[in-house]
Amino acid sequence: MKKWFSKFFAEMHPQSRNAFLMAMITVVGVSFTDIYVFYLIARIDDWQVVALAGALSFFVLIAALSAILARRKYPASVSALVLFGGFSIMALVSSVILAGVGRIILAASIILITTGAGLTLSRKMAPPTIITGIVVGIIALLIDFFVPAYQLAVLKRTTYSWLHFL
């Protein structure tokens, strides 16, 4: 007798399975990040940290919605586009809140959305989604360069600081 979890994966279309797994990995990863940001709220008393915690919590809910949509046998494209839309919003909010993360967000949006679109979307829907990911990354980079007034500075690690802890 098969367990319901393995039976569930066996019955899913590969693209839906990929969308579900991407959403669940996102839920787990962002939840751990959100816990760390809640810890930072107690240590750093800035509105940017509170806003980042709220944005991360919202992104966890969007990723959970994406996983539910994939599990409920909606098309994989619906689940993936909800996840990519949430990522795009989170990337722009992070770029507005944190200083110095524009290049990282540009690289992450290109890599994650290109890979995810290739795994979950059809050949017709993947190119516009990839272009949207690139545009979101470029906008995040431009926000990082031109809107630094109220951003929270991210500490930059140097080689010395890493060697000091070793």
Evaluate whether residue 52 is within a structural domain.
yes
Evaluate whether residue 7 is within a structural domain.
no
Residue 58 DSSP SS3: helix
Is the confidence at residue 7, as pLDDT, over 70? no
Instruction: Find where tokens 């190119």 sit.
Output: 127
Element (H, E) at 70: helix 47-71
Evaluate whether residue 3 is within a structural domain.
no
Evaluate whether residue 128 is within a structural domain.
yes
pLDDT at 155: 54
Mean pLDDT of the chain: 81
In the predicted model, what is the mean pLDDT of residues 107-125?
88
Evaluate whether residue 6 is within a structural domain.
no
Evaluate whether residue 155 is within a structural domain.
yes
- Strand pairing partners for 98? 152
Evaluate whether residue 97 is within a structural domain.
yes
Asked if 130 and 113 count as a contact pair (C-beta separation under 8 A), the reply is: yes
Q: Over the stretch 56-79, which tens digit does the pLDDT of each residue have? A: 899 999 999 998 888 877 888 888
pLDDT at 163: 47
Evaluate whether residue 5 is within a structural domain.
no
Q: At 121, phi and psi to the nearest 5?
A: -105, 160
The domain in which residue 49 lies consists of 13-165
> DSSP letter at 147?
-
Count of structural domains within the chain: 1
The full DSSP string for 75-131 is -HHHHHHHHHHHHHHHHHHHHHHEET-HHHHHHHHHHHHHHHHHHHS-TTTHHHHHH
Instruction: Find where tokens 């940017």 sit.
Output: 48
Q: Which residues contact 111 (CB under 8 A, 6 or more apart)?
A: none
Q: Does the predicted TM-score (pTM) go above 0.85?
A: no
